[in-house]
Amino acid sequence: MEKMSSFGVKFLNLADAPIFLKGILLHNIYGFNDEVTAQLTQYYIDEFKPNIASLLGSSDLIGNPNHFKKNFGTGLQALTTMPREGFEQGLVEGSFGVVKGTAGLAKYTVAGGAGSVSRFTQAVNKPLAMLTFDS
C-alpha cells in the first residue's frame, strides 16, 4: 500500500520550474493574527496564479516543454551569434559561422526533443513499474 500512495507523486515530477513571487512590505500592521494571515495568504495565492502555466510546462509527464524551449533558444542564439562573429572577421570565417550556427541549432533542437521524449517515457515508466510491482 505504501507504494500505491506515492503513485501520483511519480507522475508529478517537475524539473527546472521557475516560480516568481513578489515580496510584500508591510508597515504598522494592526489586526488579529487570523486576519493578517488571511490577507497574506490571499496575496501570495494571487502572486502564485501566473506561475501555474510555468509549472505545467515543467512537468515531465508532458515532456517538460520549458526544457525544450530553453534548448531551442540556445540553438537559435548559436544560429545568430556564430555567423555574426564570423562575418566580423571575414567572409570565409562568416561562412564557417553559418555552418557552425546551423549545426548548433540542429544539435540543441535534437537534444531538446530527445530530452523531452526521455522525460516523458521516464514519467510514464515509473508509475507503471510500481503498478506491476517491478520496482
98 HSE (CA, 13 A, CB side): 6
Residue 102 confidence (pLDDT): 95
- The amino acid at residue 9 is V
Q: Quick check: is 52 in a domain?
A: no
Whether residue 30 is contained in a domain is answered as no
Look over the chain and give the mean of its residue pLDDT values, rounded to a whole number. Answer: 84
- Whether 97 maps to a domain, the answer reads yes
Domain of residue 110: give its range.
Answer: 2-17+58-131
| pLDDT for 3 | 52
Asked if the structure places residue 38 within a domain, the reply is: no
* 70 assigned to some structural domain: yes
106 located within any domain: yes
- Give the number of domains in the chain: 1
- Spatial distance between the Cα atoms of 75 and 38, rounded to a whole number of angstroms: 45
Using CA atoms of 47, 49, 54, 58 in order, give the dihedral in degrees to the nearest 10: 110
Alpha-helix residue ranges (DSSP H) falling in the chain: 2-5, 7-11, 33-48, 52-57, 65-89, 91-131
pTM over 0.95: no
Residue 1 — very low, low, confident or very high, per pLDDT cuts 50/70/90? very low
> Is 48 contained in some domain?
no
Once rounded to an integer, what is the mean pLDDT over residues 35-60? Answer: 88
Q: Above 70 in pLDDT, residue 68?
A: yes
Residue 62 domain flag: yes
